[in-house]
C-alpha cells in the first residue's frame, strides 16, 4: 500500500500568520452566505438580479 502523505513537515510561520490575518476579513462574506442559505432569501436576491426594480 503506497503512502500518499509527505513525510516532511515544513511550516512557514510568517505565511501562516499573514493568512490568518486575512481570514478575519471573511466574517462579512460568511454572514452573507449564511443569509443566502435560506431558500426564500436566495430567490428574492436572484429575482432582484433579473429585474432592475421589484417590490418584494
Q: What is the pLDDT along the chain (56 residues), one digit of tens a residue?
A: 566 777 878 888 898 888 887 887 787 888 888 888 888 888 888 888 899 888 85
Question: Rounded distance, CA 34 to CA 38, Å?
Answer: 8
pLDDT at 2: 60
Quote the Cα angle for 49-55-56, to 5°: 75
Displacement of CA 50 from its chain's centroid (Å): 24
Structural domain contains residue 9:
no
Structural domain contains residue 42:
yes
Range of the domain at 49: 28-56
Structural domain contains residue 13:
no
Amino acid at each position: 500500500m503506497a503512502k500518499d502523505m509527505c513525510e516532511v513537515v515544513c511550516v512557514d510561520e510568517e505565511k501562516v500568520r499573514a493568512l490568518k490575518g486575512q481570514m478575519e476579513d471573511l466574517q462579512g462574506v460568511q454572514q452573507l452566505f449564511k443569509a443566502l442559505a435560506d431558500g426564500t432569501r436566495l430567490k428574492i436576491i436572484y429575482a432582484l438580479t433579473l429585474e432592475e426594480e421589484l417590490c418584494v
